[in-house]
Amino acid sequence: MIAASSTRPQPRWQTLWRESITDAQELLGLLDLAHLAGSLPAADAGFSLRVPRGFVARMRRGDPHDPLLLQILPQLAECDRRSTAQLDAVGDGAARAARGVIHKYHGRALLIASGACAVNCRYCFRRHFPYAEETAAAQHWRDAVDWLRAHPDIDELILSGGDPLSLATAKLAELTDALRDLPQLKRLRLHTRLPVVLPERVDAELCAWLARLPWPVAIVLHANHAQELDAGVAAACAHLRAAGAQLLNQSVLLKQVNDSADRLCALSERLFAIGVLPYYLHQLDRVQGTLHFEVDDAHALQLIESVRQRLPGYLLPRLVREEPGQPAKTALQGP
C-alpha cells in the first residue's frame, strides 16, 4: 500500500505568481506592441520586470500609452542618473531601528516584512533597498519583536515591504502570534498592492487569519488608476471587509498615468464603489530611475484643487510628500 503524500498543494495565488511575466519582449508581444522591443533598456534598466498575467489582461492591446503598462514596462528614461535623484529618497536607512524595523513617526513602527512583490512598479521608492539584509521575517521575526517589546510607546505596527502579503499566511500568523504578548499594540496596518495586482491572494486562509486578529486592522491598498480595479479586485475587497478590515488606498501621482483631474476623480469614485476610501496621493519620491514620472508641485496642486471642486471631501485624497527627518508626511498646500 502506498502512503498518501503529505505535500500540501500550493495555493492558487502562488501558482499565478510563479506564472508572472518577467520578460519585456513577451509582454509587448501579448499586447500587440512587439514593434517597441527595440526601445527597451538593457537588462530592464537594473530593475527586473515582474507582472501577473491577470494584471496584463486589464491593459489595452495595441496602446503604448496604456496607464497600467506605463507603470510596469522598463523605459530608457530609467537610465538617467541625474544628481538630484537618490537611492534612498525617503530616509529609510537613517530611520533603521533594528533588522527590518523602520521607526520614523511617533507611536508607529514599520516592518519590512518581505522584499518580494507580485509586481515591480517602475516608480518604486524602494527599488534600491537592501532587502537581503533588511527583512524583518528573518529568524522568525525575533529582532523585530524584541525591539517592539523594548519600546512600549509603539502602539501601531505597519507591515510593508516589498509586500507583506507576498508571505504565506502561516508566516504572517507566526508574526501576529508573537505580537499578542505586546500589550501596547492597538492597531495593525498592512500596506499592500497584492489585492489589486493579484486578487487571488485574498483567499479563505488569509481572511480567516485576519478575522482572528485581536486588533483593529487597516489595509492600505495601492491603486493609481481606475482601470486597475476590475471585478476580481472588487471581490477581493469585499472579502477583506467581511474579515473585519478597514480599506484605504494610497496612490502616487504619475506623469501620463493619472496626472489629470478626470483620472483622479474616476479613481476615487471607483475606489468608493468597491468599499475603499482614498487616503493619500503621494508626490513622487525622487529615487534614481523614476524621475520621468515626476509631476511638478504647481501642477499637482492645480489637479487636487480641481478634484476638490468636483468630489465630496471624503473622496479627496490628501496630497503629500515624504521628507526624511520630518515627524509626519508633509501636506502640500497652495498659497
Give the pLDDT of residue 335. Answer: 55
Give the pLDDT of residue 112. Answer: 93
Give the pLDDT of residue 2. Answer: 40
* CA 113 distance to own-chain centroid: 13
Asked whether the bond before 275 is cis by omega within 30 degrees of 0, the reply is: no
Cell of 295: 509631476
Rounded Cα–Cα distance for residues 219 and 222 (Å) = 10
Cell of 219: 489595509
Query: pLDDT digit of tens for each residue in the chain (335 aa)?
Result: 344 444 667 789 999 999 999 999 999 999 999 999 999 999 888 899 999 999 999 999 999 999 999 999 999 998 877 667 788 778 788 888 999 999 999 999 999 999 999 999 999 988 888 877 788 888 889 999 999 999 999 999 999 989 999 999 999 999 999 999 999 999 999 999 999 999 999 999 999 999 999 999 999 999 999 999 999 999 999 999 999 999 999 999 999 999 999 999 999 999 999 999 999 999 998 998 899 999 999 999 999 999 999 999 999 999 999 998 898 999 998 65
Give the pLDDT of residue 1. Answer: 37
In total, the chain counts a number of residues equal to: 335
Single out the residue of 218, 164, 167, 168 nearest to residue 192, CA to CA: 164
Contact 259, 289 (CB under 8 A): no
Single out the residue of 31, 119, 302, 145 nearest to residue 159, CA to CA: 145
Contact 97, 331 (CB under 8 A): no
Rounded Cα–Cα distance for residues 331 and 250 (Å) = 14
